[in-house]
Chains A and B, each alone.
Chain A
Amino acid sequence: MFQEKNAMASGQQWVLVEMVQAFYEAPAYHLILEGILILWIIRLLFSKTYKLHETYKLTEKEKEDLIEEWQPEPLVPPLSKDQPPLSYDVVTGPPSHKIIINGKECINFASFNFLGLLDNERVKEKALASLKKYGVGTCGPRGFYGTFDVHLELESRLAKFMKTEEAIIYSYGFATIASAIPAYSKRGDIIFVDEAACFSIQKGLQASRSFIKYFKHNDMEDLERLLKEQELEDQKNPRKARVTRKFIVVEGLYINTADICPLPELVKLKYKYKVRIFLEESMSFGVLGENGRGVTEHFGVNMDDIDLISANMENAVASIGGFCCGRSFVIDHQRLSGQGYCFSASLPPMLAAAAIEALNIMEEDPDIFTVLREKCKHVYKALQGIPGLKLAGVPFSPALHLQLERSSGSRVSDMQLLRSIVDHCLERNVALTLARYLEKEERFLPPPSIRLVVTIKQKDEDIQKAVSCIKEAASVLLKQ
């Protein structure tokens, strides 16, 4: 072998010598030709096939022309002739049990005033007292002298009510979950979310810039399939998996479908796949459970098994704002990272005071939740079997959806049909509302529906009247 190597080396040497010899012996024209060829190859290697700059460079004149030429779209699309601008119904006076819409007094089946606390005298008195002490506005974010003693009280009261370590309040219900999600979930993290999730969750997801995986509404098998897929993915890349946070975001009672989430199964999946759960309870806080604590109490799930619960104080509590609660380890982070908390003026103290009084009422008299539940069941039963309409939701949901049994073919005409039912009822002093969505913005647009809200203020005869109005309207307007 050694010899062989030696022979090869000498062989190569010989070739080299021969090449040099050939070089000397070659005719001049040959050398010149080869030289030119080599140069040509080098040029081909290093030059671009086309001149980017020459085609790109514009003269000042051309630039001016381009600028002159450019016609932007109008800031907002011009109003089309066939579609009149949206006009809102005007409510005069308080939007309580009796509500005056466009000058007509109606029974309110549309405001989320589940517990009827909106015009509660005690709540009003407390709000007034707070107004007399603090004025209206806070003139600053929480960090800069916008923290009032009432805020601290409300936070500790909410934490106590929900039996969690800590609560944090936001000044706007919509901004609560929309700020909470991006405070934890960042780029690269993964969020598993129900398709029926409400719009503020969707905005939170978008702001987080995480990977979003939608599972079919309330379909735990679908969720588990996604979780399994992710587990396989994680096994392939364990280093990445170690820093990829995973969350499940669900609603307690879905505002868009009036369904309840299967929380016990979700908790099982949480521990099986080590995913954190964020629960949005705007519809179920102050509604479900023995003491109005929401879905956790309804199912008897341990509060600590849910990483974060968020809800607004605009429905059952009938004030303004929202809150998140959970363990301090989780919640405290939002005080520096929740954008809607840090960068926004704090909640007017009188609204916080109203919320505290609402909590007082809820704690003093947990029977109101039973009353509400009975009312919900009653309404749910009464609304069954309306020709042409189907009822979506669970019997204990206080905000139900009436959908068309058969679509007329287009969303616009469906909406018009439902609107005519609402108008028919308005005529007869029953206030209902269409569930409104931004049709182009929703990830999964819910079917058109009339939303019917149950409150404890509605008496049996009110409910009977509403149901008969809807039945009448449906039989008149939906005959096909």
Chain B
Amino acid sequence: MTESPATKAANGEVAAGLHAKNGLRPDRNGFSKSLLCCHEWPPKTNHGQRQDEEEVHTVSHNGSLYKRPFVESFEETPMLVAVLTYMGYGILTIFGYLRDFLRHWKIEKCYIAREREEQKDFVPLYQDFENFYTRNLYMRIRDNWNRPICSVPGAKMDLMERVSPDYNWTFELTGRVVKDVINLGSYNYLGFAENTGLCADAAAKVTMTYGVGVASTRQEIGNLDRHEEMEKLTARFLGVESAMAFGMGFATNSMNIPALTGKGCLILSDELNHASLVLGARLSGSTIRVFKHNNMQSLEKLLREAIVHGQPRTHRPWKKILIVVEGIYSMEGSIVRLPEIVALKKHYRAYLYLDEAHSIGALGQRGRGVVDYFGLDPCDVDVMMGTFTKSFSAAGGYIAGKRELIQYLRSHSHSAVYATSMSPPVVEQIITSMKCIMGEDGTTIGSDRVRQLAENTVYFRTRLQEMGFIIYGNDDSPVVPMMLYMPAKIGAFGREMLKRNIGVVVVGFPATPIIESRARFCISAAHSKNMLDRALSAISEVGDLLQLKYSRHRKQPRSFDDDIYDDIDD
């Protein structure tokens, strides 16, 4: 648990999903004083008040840094809901112990796989409490995850029906197929998950000429011409000098950060960074310090302290400082405050590693990710990382940046030396879909999809807010987390939605703080308005059924009059 309801409550009534106009609340933008002095940005009033607001709600506009409104909201958890959620976990825990007791005395039948008889006297492979949560909480609602599908993971998908005869300990496929489930779960932002069309045809052709495997590494004998072409295209797409691709998005982070930093280097990492970034940082052997999510004051404080004090104990200056952030945070739906981070990194001479796993293709007018979204120069980001899994509907990841960086990685990346190179049809899918986004296929399909995604996102988010749900994140983020809070509602929401033929993703602890269980919708350009409307009405229905409309700041449908701003101008 990272945030307690008590700290959130402090922010009171003003924090809500309210929009503000440019320059209205300069004090909320997380910019710190020193930087403003150094660069002589327009002086600000009301500085340094109530830091805790940062976590909860951010409406920020800094005329010189943000070209467009940057609206991000994290409405605080209502106190009653928080209390009830804790109670829910309490009751679950008590029953968990009770059932463990019953299982222990063989009163209740136990389905857990057991250690071999021959190895009973070995040190237990798992500690008992490690599995308490899995056994007693996760197992009850396990049917909401790993649902097998048997079609393209497009706007609609076919699910294989499964039943559990023993309360989710095992599943059996019934052989029936639940057809045309609206897919709000896959990261198919630009709708390139297709089995027909240009991309699929190109991939099919390559499959027949090249086969699917490579059976060697890039440095040895697995460097195909297709790989080289894809990398050149990626570099052109991103507007940087050079790029290199890797076979797995997760490994792109965990195997390349260690090539960039080592002992005596400092990594400043956002607290909500993805597991792959955390693993990469840990494997690198660098010192890791964590700053509060998207909080520029916290980041600047760490930067200043790091440079002034140097390494712990030896007080030698750090060799280099790498700031590691993501473009869109997949569980919060927030967008990184890139303009401010770029300013900070320039001032403090740190390096910036930007993971665009979710944002590449999904943000920006031209679909070039968060850099494009803010209208920044890609050269300001030292290491651009992203994945091909999501918007491009392929697999793998890339790292892009200056020529020297990529040259260095080509000889030092763990992946280039030890891991099998990417499968040719997957590479072809990337090439074709990327060309489509760039408009190089001679059509406007790509740019239409980018625009469609932005429209769908705004529409979906606005409607959910109007209904009174608590929605986290940035207004432009196609990742839409909707708060459920209580553990029982995780399972209920997922099941009720499936009954209405809508596939959603629900997440709880440990992927989120313990009381902040949520549902997450991923909007796609492939969703038609009709589909979104169907989904929205189903969500609203289930929301009423499960009492999920927690928001105390329900947005009035389409009324952005100026009066509301007076209230928050404290």
Q: Shortest CB–CB separation between residue B230 and chain A, in angstroms?
A: 13
Q: Shortest CB–CB separation between residue A396 and chain B, in angstroms?
A: 19
Q: A67-B307, A67-B308, A70-B349 are in contact. Are A139 and B390 (CB under 8 A)?
A: yes
In angstroms, Cα B203 to Cα A140, docked, is 20
| In the complex, per-residue mask of A120-145: 1 if CB is within 8 Å of any chain B CB, else 0 | 10011001100111111111101111
| Interface positions of A from 80 to 102, Cβ below 8 Å from B | 85-86, 88-96, 99, 101
Q: Is A429 an interface residue (CB 8 A)?
A: no
| In the complex, per-residue mask of A100-115: 1 if CB is within 8 Å of any chain B CB, else 0 | 0100000010111100
Q: A343-B250, A431-B221 are in contact. Are A135 and B216 (CB under 8 A)?
A: no
In angstroms, Cα B153 to Cα A93, docked, is 30
In angstroms, Cα B276 to Cα A75, docked, is 20
Q: How many residues belonging to B are interface residues under a CB distance threshold of 8 Å?
A: 120
CB-based nearest B residue for A145:
B185
Q: Shortest CB–CB separation between residue A121 and chain B, in angstroms?
A: 9
Q: Is A312 an interface residue (CB 8 A)?
A: yes
CB-based nearest A residue for B157:
A145
Q: Which residues in A have their C-beta under 8 angstroms from that of B145?
A: 143-144
Q: Shortest CB–CB separation between residue B142 and chain A, in angstroms?
A: 10
Q: Which residues in A have their C-beta under 8 angstroms from that of B275?
A: 339, 342-343
Is B225 within 8 A of A90, CB to CB?
A: yes
Is B223 within 8 A of A89, CB to CB?
A: yes
Is A351 within 8 A of B146, CB to CB?
A: no
Selecting from B15-23, B367-375, B406-414, the interface stretch reads: B406-414
Q: A66-B308, A175-B250 are in contact. Are A111 and B214 (CB under 8 A)?
A: yes
Q: Which residues in B have their C-beta under 8 angstroms from that of A354?
A: 212-213
Q: Which of A99, A172, A245, A354 has the most CB of B within 10 A?
A: A172
Q: Which residues in B have their C-beta under 8 angstroms from that of A139?
A: 153, 186-188, 193, 389-390, 393
Q: Shortest CB–CB separation between residue B319 and chain A, in angstroms?
A: 5
Is A137 within 8 A of B149, CB to CB?
A: no
Q: Is A404 an interface residue (CB 8 A)?
A: no
Is B320 within 8 A of A75, CB to CB?
A: yes
| In the complex, per-residue mask of A146-159: 1 if CB is within 8 Å of any chain B CB, else 0 | 11110110000000
| Interface positions of A from 300 to 318, Cβ below 8 Å from B | 304, 312, 314-315, 317-318
Contact pick for A86, options B148, B411, B422, B505, CB 8 Å: B411
Q: A276-B122, A344-B248 are in contact. Are A110 and B279 (CB under 8 A)?
A: no
Is B152 within 8 A of A110, CB to CB?
A: no
Is B113 within 8 A of A91, CB to CB?
A: no
In angstroms, Cα B194 to Cα A394, docked, is 47
Q: Is B210 an interface residue (CB 8 A)?
A: yes
Q: Is B125 an interface residue (CB 8 A)?
A: yes
CB-based nearest B residue for A312:
B420
In angstroms, Cα B392 to Cα A64, docked, is 45
Q: Is B274 an interface residue (CB 8 A)?
A: yes
Selecting from A4-12, A218-226, A324-332, A465-473, the interface stretch reads: A324-332
Is B213 within 8 A of A318, CB to CB?
A: yes
Q: Is A119 an interface residue (CB 8 A)?
A: yes
Q: Which residues in A have their C-beta under 8 angstroms from that of B429?
A: 136-137
CB-based nearest A residue for B205:
A128
Q: Which residues in B have their C-beta under 8 angstroms from that of A347?
A: 395
CB-based nearest A residue for B261:
A75
Q: Which residues in B have their C-beta under 8 angstroms from that of A136?
A: 193, 199-200, 203, 393-395, 425-426, 429
Q: Shortest CB–CB separation between residue A96 and chain B, in angstroms?
A: 7
| Interface positions of A from 36 to 67, Cβ below 8 Å from B | 58, 63-64, 66-67
Is B318 within 8 A of A351, CB to CB?
A: no
CB-based nearest B residue for A332:
B113
Q: Is B151 an interface residue (CB 8 A)?
A: yes
CB-based nearest A residue for B423:
A320
Q: Is B115 an interface residue (CB 8 A)?
A: yes
CB-based nearest B residue for A136:
B429
Q: Which residues in B have their C-beta under 8 angstroms from that of A27?
A: none
Is A132 within 8 A of B279, CB to CB?
A: no
Is B247 within 8 A of A172, CB to CB?
A: yes
Q: Which residues in A have their C-beta under 8 angstroms from that of B152?
A: 133-135
In angstroms, Cα B203 to Cα A128, docked, is 9
| Interface positions of B from 404 to 437, Cβ below 8 Å from A | 404-405, 407-412, 414-415, 417-420, 422-426, 429
Is B219 within 8 A of A88, CB to CB?
A: yes
Contact pick for B146, options A108, A142, A320, CB 8 Å: A142
Q: Is A385 an interface residue (CB 8 A)?
A: no
Q: Which residues in A have their C-beta under 8 angstroms from that of B134?
A: 336
| Interface positions of B from 198 to 242, Cβ below 8 Å from A | 199-200, 203-204, 207-225, 228
Q: Shortest CB–CB separation between residue B159 and chain A, in angstroms?
A: 8
Q: Is B535 an interface residue (CB 8 A)?
A: no
Is A119 within 8 A of B211, CB to CB?
A: yes
Is B393 within 8 A of A203, CB to CB?
A: no
Q: Is A161 an interface residue (CB 8 A)?
A: no
Contact pick for A72, options B147, B304, B350, CB 8 Å: B350
Q: Which residues in A have their C-beta under 8 angstroms from that of B148?
A: 147-149, 151-152
Q: Shortest CB–CB separation between residue A422 and chain B, in angstroms?
A: 10
Q: Is B90 an interface residue (CB 8 A)?
A: no
Is A110 within 8 A of B220, CB to CB?
A: yes
Is B304 within 8 A of A63, CB to CB?
A: yes
In angstroms, Cα B213 to Cα A12, docked, is 94
CB-based nearest A residue for B407:
A85
Is A242 within 8 A of B123, CB to CB?
A: yes
Q: Which residues in B have their C-beta under 8 angstroms from that of A89?
A: 221, 223
Q: Which of B126, B150, B221, B424 has the most CB of A within 10 A?
A: B221
22 A-B pairs whose Cβ atoms sit less than 8 Å apart in the complex? A67-B348, A72-B349, A88-B219, A94-B210, A111-B222, A112-B216, A119-B211, A137-B426, A139-B390, A145-B157, A172-B248, A274-B119, A314-B215, A328-B113, A329-B125, A339-B250, A343-B274, A344-B249, A345-B248, A345-B395, A433-B216, A436-B217
List the 7 shortest-distance A-B pairs measured between CB atoms, nearest first: A172-B248, A137-B393, A76-B408, A344-B250, A318-B213, A88-B223, A345-B389
What is B's interface to A at a CB cutoff of 8 Å?
34, 113-116, 118-119, 121-127, 134, 138, 145-154, 157, 160, 183, 185-188, 192-195, 199-200, 203-204, 207-225, 228, 247-251, 255, 258, 260, 274-276, 279, 282-283, 304, 307-308, 317-322, 348-351, 382-383, 387-390, 392-395, 404-405, 407-412, 414-415, 417-420, 422-426, 429, 503, 505
A314-B213, A438-B418 are known contacts; what are 8 more A-B pairs with Cβ within 8 Å? Answer: A72-B350, A75-B351, A90-B228, A137-B192, A139-B153, A148-B150, A199-B417, A345-B187
